[in-house]
Structure 1
Amino acid sequence: MKCKAFLRFIRNTPQTKGVFQALLWAEPDQNTVCPWQLYKYRLNSKILLFLMMGFFVMARGDTGCCAGNRQIVGEDDFGRKIVLEKPPERIVLLSGTPVDLIYELGAGHMLVGVVDTIATSYPETCRRYPSILEKEGVGRFSAPNIEKIVSLAPDLIIPFASSESPGKYTTVFERRGLAYAAFVSVENVAFGIEQIKRMGSVLGKEKEGKALAHKIRTEVDTLSKKISSRIKDRPLVYYWWGTRNGTYGARTAINELIELAGGVNLAGQFDAQHMELSPEYVIARDPDVIVISYWKESQRDERVAALRKKPGFSGVKAVKNNRVHTIEGHSFHTTIRFAEVIQTLAEFIHPGVLGDSGYSGGLRP
């Protein structure tokens, strides 16, 4: 019935009537024509149906099928299927971690809103991508301004997410009919490589995502092979995040990057992410190298001085041998900088192991 209705429509529509008459005879009277004529009519009707369906699909190509308006289908880090009618053009970002990746995918211009504290929380990122400072502020990581976000008319929101949850405000976004895709700090290199591809797909940059993922994977593999072929031992490394007694266990990218750089993470034996180790435990393990993370430039010397003043640390090998170093904390949380991190850590752990091509900054005794 639908086919017959469609044929009647195109026979009587001015734009298609001529085409129909050119291809078909007038509809025969089943009581007066021979079976062969009736068969030819029905056959031609089916042919015309397919031709006209193709015609209408092509005619709509300028509104729904061109590259700029293609439907986007992807997944976020929680396995949620993300379906957008077209590539996003207005993105609100409630986390600082994905900034590097978004810009390296060529999508920085899509950002219309970021958290108010982006400049103070991620100064190195802002130095690398200064246009991020021109974006509208939409509140804090933990307390975004929902009304301000809505006023920016985003077609995609990237919330502040942990590995356990895509964020407590995602239910609000759902009630408001706002699309979101959650991405977390990477836990290992393989996860980070796949995250690049996922982000690329969601942003309509699938080709760029695959190319960037391949580039990072190649850089990391090349560096790790070069380092492993040149070292004879693996010094013990204590990574301190600069406050309390915090460090990172086995389920983190930091643990893997220390290993790829030719070291052993002092906390790597613990199946955990963020954790605290007592000063007594660290002193007893007597690490060869200590790496301290900082987020603001002013914290670098302050944190080194604070560690040296800790009771009992003056006798630790890393302190006695002046092998206490600092590194920008955000670099561990974005896959884009993994190769740079490996180079920097390798210089801390095995000075000169990569020669002239190896070291790219961050060393501070």
Structure 2
Amino acid sequence: MMNKIKKIAIITLTLILLLTFTSCQSRQSGYNDKETAKIEITDIKGKTVVLNKIPERIVSLSPTNTEIMFALGAGDKLVGVTSFCDYPEEAKKIDKIGDFDNPSIELIKKMNPDLVLAGGYIQEDLMAALEGLNIPVASTEAADVESIYDSIAMVGKLVGKETEAEEIINNIHKDIEEIENKVMGKERKKVFYLVWKDPLYTAGQGTYINEIIQIAGGQNVATEITGWGQYSFEELLKQNPDILIAAFHSTDEGMRKEDIMKDELFSKLPCIREGNIHVMSDDNIVSRPGPRVVEAIREMAKALHSDSF
């Protein structure tokens, strides 16, 4: 009788161990499948990008892509970035491959990347050259607020951080909706955005800055021009904006509110004499369509509708 009980116990224990081993193997197999499964996306330019596995050595050709990588918690995969990639602080420590306009193909090759994240249309020739070297390239940089979500989702899928990407996207949606609700029903103040002081340059329709102004509850007075363009001071006087918002680096020395108020030409504007001026705290948040878009919209909205914040 005792031998029979021992035999049953041994068989039961064996079955438990076998099931446990099979379960572990199944989980391990699932993990490996995820690591080795093909990844496929359609990038910003409509090109299909296929990777055989999650990349571990990535080069970023734009500051926006670098910021997205760190926001996803994948900054440690970056082996090369541009000289303009300065956020977050850790990005400054990564090896540089040149500037945004003219990165070095030789330096990129030496880093042996299994993925390159490219920027805008200015980099098309470089992208073609890298693809000719059998280096996978994905164009993931957004041009407007809506495509920021696509950029984050694409990079998240490419680097195996889809859950993190979804969380970031949801938070951006939530924060923008909260700001829009605060400025809803408010009078849309007329805004002139100073990109460069001399000669006078601004951002017209079709620009990321124009979109931020609109979401923040403002009305860009320069929408008669498309893209980035020179603007006449006579037209600016005619438009008579309610507020002037300036990029800090709208001069080589950096712009201050006091500088604008003392300027011989700008002081002719009623909004300047009344002190309705805001200098952006960080030019990059209004020039990089990425995870910090909410910071740009919130700062702009506060400048336009301080009573709502």
- State yes or no: 1:323 paired with 2:279: no
2-structure distance, mates of 1:308, 1:185: 35
Q: In the alignment, which residue of structure 2 is the partner of 1:352?
A: 307
Listed one character per residue, the Cα deviations across residues 240-286 of structure 1 (whole Å, up to 9, x for unaligned) are 1134322112212322221222211111344x222221121112111
Q: In the alignment, which residue of structure 2 is the partner of 1:141?
A: 100
1:312 maps to a residue whose letter is L
Deviation at 1:226, TM superposition (A): 2.0
Q: Is the 8 A contact 1:159 1:170 kept in 2?
A: yes
Q: Is the 8 A contact 2:195 2:250 kept in 1?
A: no
Contiguous gaps of at least 5 residues in structure 2: 1-24
Q: In the alignment, which residue of structure 1 is the partner of 2:139?
A: 182
2:67 maps to a residue whose letter is D
Match of 2:289 among 325, 329, 334: 334
**Partner-residue secondary structure (3-state), 1:167:** helix
Q: Is the 8 A contact 2:261 2:275 kept in 1?
A: no
- Shift >4 Å, 4+ stretches: 61-65, 295-299, 307-311
2-structure distance, mates of 1:191, 1:117: 22
Match of 2:120 among 161, 183, 186: 161
| Greater displacement, 190-199 / 276-285 | 190-199
Deviation at 1:65, TM superposition (A): 4.5
Contiguous gaps of at least 5 residues in structure 1: 1-57, 355-365
Q: In the alignment, which residue of structure 2 is the partner of 1:312?
A: 265
Deviation at 1:334, TM superposition (A): 2.6
Deviation at 1:81, TM superposition (A): 0.9
1-structure distance, mates of 2:89, 2:308: 33
Q: Normalising by the residue count of structure 1, what TM-score does the alignment of the two structures yield? A: 0.70
Change over 3 Å in CA distance of 1:222–1:175 after alignment to 2: same
Q: Normalising by the residue count of structure 2, what TM-score does the alignment of the two structures yield? A: 0.82
1-structure distance, mates of 2:68, 2:249: 18
2-structure distance, mates of 1:316, 1:155: 54
1:101 maps to a residue whose letter is I
| Greater displacement, 319-328 / 177-186 | 177-186
1-structure distance, mates of 2:263, 2:79: 44
Change over 3 Å in CA distance of 1:344–1:312 after alignment to 2: same
Please say which structure displays the higher CA radius of gyration.
1
1-structure distance, mates of 2:131, 2:42: 16
1-structure distance, mates of 2:258, 2:154: 38
1-structure distance, mates of 2:179, 2:215: 8
- State yes or no: 1:83 paired with 2:37: no
Q: Is the 8 A contact 2:190 2:241 kept in 1?
A: yes
Listed one character per residue, the Cα deviations across residues 17-65 of structure 1 (whole Å, up to 9, x for unaligned) are xxxxxxxxxxxxxxxxxxxxxxxxxxxxxxxxxxxxxxxxx99x85994
Q: Is the 8 A contact 2:62 2:84 kept in 1?
A: no
Q: Is the 8 A contact 2:59 2:108 kept in 1?
A: yes
Q: Is the 8 A contact 2:63 2:84 kept in 1?
A: no
Change over 3 Å in CA distance of 1:104–1:174 after alignment to 2: same
Q: Is the 8 A contact 2:256 2:279 kept in 1?
A: no
Deviation at 1:160, TM superposition (A): 3.6
| Greater displacement, 261-270 / 146-155 | 261-270
Q: Is the 8 A contact 2:244 2:271 kept in 1?
A: yes
Change over 3 Å in CA distance of 1:342–1:266 after alignment to 2: same
Matching of residues 54-203 of structure 1 within 5 Å: 62=29, 65-118=32-85, 122=86, 125=87, 129-162=88-121, 166-187=123-144, 189-203=145-159
Q: Is the 8 A contact 2:200 2:233 kept in 1?
A: yes
Change over 3 Å in CA distance of 1:143–1:255 after alignment to 2: closer
**Partner-residue secondary structure (3-state), 2:146:** helix
Deviation at 1:152, TM superposition (A): 0.9
Q: Percent identity?
A: 25
Deviation at 1:308, TM superposition (A): 4.6
1:219 maps to a residue whose letter is D
